[in-house]
Amino acid sequence: DDAALLRRRDAALADVQEHYWSAPPRIERGWGVHLVESRGRVLLDMVNNVTAIGHAHPAVTAAVARQLGLLNTNSRFHYRAITDLATTLAGLLPDPLDRVLLVNSGSEAVDLAIRVAHAATGRTGIVAVGEAYHGWTLASDAVSTSIADNPNAIGTRPDWVHVVDAPNAYRGRHRDAEARRYGPEAAAAIRALPSPPAAFLAEPFFGNAGGVPLPDGYLREVYSAVRERGGLAIADEVQVGLGRLGRWFWGFEQQGVVPDVVTVAKSLGNGFPVGAVITTADVARRFGSEGSFFSSTGGSPVSSVAASTVLRVLREEGLQERARVVGDRLRTALEGLAARHGIIGAVHGAGLYLGVELVRDRATRTPATVEAAAICDRLLTRGVVVQPTGDHKNVLKIKPPLVLPEDAADFFVAQLDEVLATGW
Ligand code: PMP
């Protein structure tokens, strides 16, 4: 039965491979925004941003199955799928970002972006921000500063990583209007580095902190400082890119900047592992002068058709627009809840990347960590899957598949309202 299977899981997997909830439901299948439990109950999935075009999208299933039955090989061979994907991806980015490297995950994309910056500049220094998560591989882990998600087992940070303050306008050192100071401070820190850095790397919209937008002008100031010193600007779009923010296809558009290197993954394959680094021809050439780059499965025909299908469906089904419309509706409703429930300190985010920050006290903004976990447990009993995030695990991160229907968004808000009203 399910409990016995869970015991076997916990005995076979390393303890660090934790699962949501102490008694998680066993999931057997998914479609759209829904997950189906082994005992038949249908859950509303407000957490899965990887399956952005909806769980088990038939177009991806068909494209992957067809390609897997036809040909799968590596990028040293000449085949159509990788060219189609790279052309489409480059077309989605502003000039001069038009050279694509393909990998298998977000961590790999970030790792490779760092490697590209090192090789292109002949330097090692990377400037990262606090409260960030960028992956689990050695280099992506080294720039992951979040105390909650950093899987760095050794607990040391290599000396090539320089950390500037998390530009978190809600609970950082500078709050609200004062948050405008983060940009000039980070720029000054970059100008003061004893040796010039290879790059500045951050999410262009603060996903890991729960969707807190960066202060206006932040990336403009920081990118200028790093470029003045001959370094590159890397935007990690793994979490917030590809239309989820609704108004913007890429997070960097919200800041009015164009980076030199962009990382993409997660929703790019709708669950099929694929990641990408997109950079300029000049940076790509400087990287290439170091030798060649090869990944056995990165950009394979199968992963390429998975990603190309996702990009086509995003466009054909108008999912960026849906993220805007449904996201605005959800945000307005959540702000309505905030007016009635004191535990909601703020509603962050844009489109279908929202954060409901739970606090014990609005004045001190003390994180309501235990409460957030209990509220997620209560929501599960009502058939809603949502999880807390951020350094204090007190932000309910709302990042469902972009196909979320209006009535499902309303259902989620009604359930959260009742849980907050009746106690947890
Ligand atoms: N960058 C960001 C911003 C992320 O949120 C994540 C994953 N949460 C990663 C990189 C790493 O991606 P992956 O888990 O696919 O390795």
SS3 string, 264-275, reads ECHHHHCCCCCE
**Which ligand 1 atom is the nearest neighbour of the CA of 137?**
16
- Which pLDDT band holds residue 151 (cuts at 50, 70, 90)? low
| In the chain, domain spans | 2-53+318-422, 58-316
> What is the rounded distance in angstroms from the CA atom of residue 375 to the CA atom of residue 36?
21
Range with the poorest average pLDDT among 20-24, 45-49, 218-222: 20-24
Range with the poorest average pLDDT among 11-15, 20-24, 127-131, 135-139: 20-24
Residue ranges in 192-279 assigned as alpha helix (H): 218-228, 251-255
Note the pLDDT of residue 290. 65
Note the pLDDT of residue 289. 86
Query: In this structure, what token pair is assigned to residue 244?
Result: 């989820």
The burial class, CB within 10 Å (0-12 / 13-18 / 19+), for 40 is exposed
Average of per-residue pLDDT across 167-183: 95
Note the pLDDT of residue 406. 98
Going 241 to 245 to 248 to 252, the CA torsion angle's sign is: negative
Average of per-residue pLDDT across 167-189: 96
Q: What angle do CA 57, 60, 65 make, to 5 degrees?
A: 125
Asked if the bond preceding 167 is cis, omega within 30° of 0, the reply is no
Average of per-residue pLDDT across 179-201: 98
Note the pLDDT of residue 134. 95
> What is the rounded distance in angstroms from the CA atom of residue 281 to the CA atom of residue 98?
7
Residue 152 confidence (pLDDT) above 80 = no
**Which ligand 1 atom is the nearest neighbour of the CA of 207?**
3
Q: Are strands 34-37 and 366-367 parallel, antiparallel or unpaired?
A: unpaired
Residue 154 confidence (pLDDT) above 60 = no
CA of 83 to the centre of ligand 1 (A): 25
| Ligand 1 lined by 236 (C-beta under 6 Å) | yes
Query: In this structure, what token pair is assigned to residue 259?
Result: 């980076």
Per-residue pLDDT tens over the stretch 286-315? 998 868 899 999 999 999 999 999 999 999
Which DSSP letter does residue 206 get? Answer: B
Q: Other C-beta atoms within 10 Å of 364: how many?
A: 9
Name the superfamily (CATH) of residues 2-53+318-422. Aspartate Aminotransferase, domain 1 (3.90.1150.10)
Residue 110 confidence (pLDDT) above 50 = yes
In terms of Cα–Cα distance, which of 30, 98, 104, 51 is closest to 74? 104
The identity of residue 114, as a single letter, is I
**Pairwise pLDDT comparison (404 vs 207), residue with the higher score:** 404
Residue 207 confidence (pLDDT) above 60 = yes
| Ligand 1 lined by 110 (C-beta under 6 Å) | yes
| Ligand 1 lined by 238 (C-beta under 6 Å) | yes
| Ligand 1 lined by 308 (C-beta under 6 Å) | no
Average of per-residue pLDDT across 217-234: 98
- Among 129, 138, 143, 239, the mutation site with the greatest number of ligand 1 atoms within 8 A of its Cβ is 239
Phi, psi of 250 (to 5 degrees): -115, 150
Q: Residue whose CA is closest, atom 15 of ligand 1? A: 106
Going 168 to 173 to 179 to 184, the CA torsion angle's sign is: negative
Note the pLDDT of residue 378. 96
Q: Are strands 97-103 and 42-45 parallel, antiparallel or unpaired?
A: unpaired
User: Is 58-316 CATH 3.40.640.10?
Assistant: yes
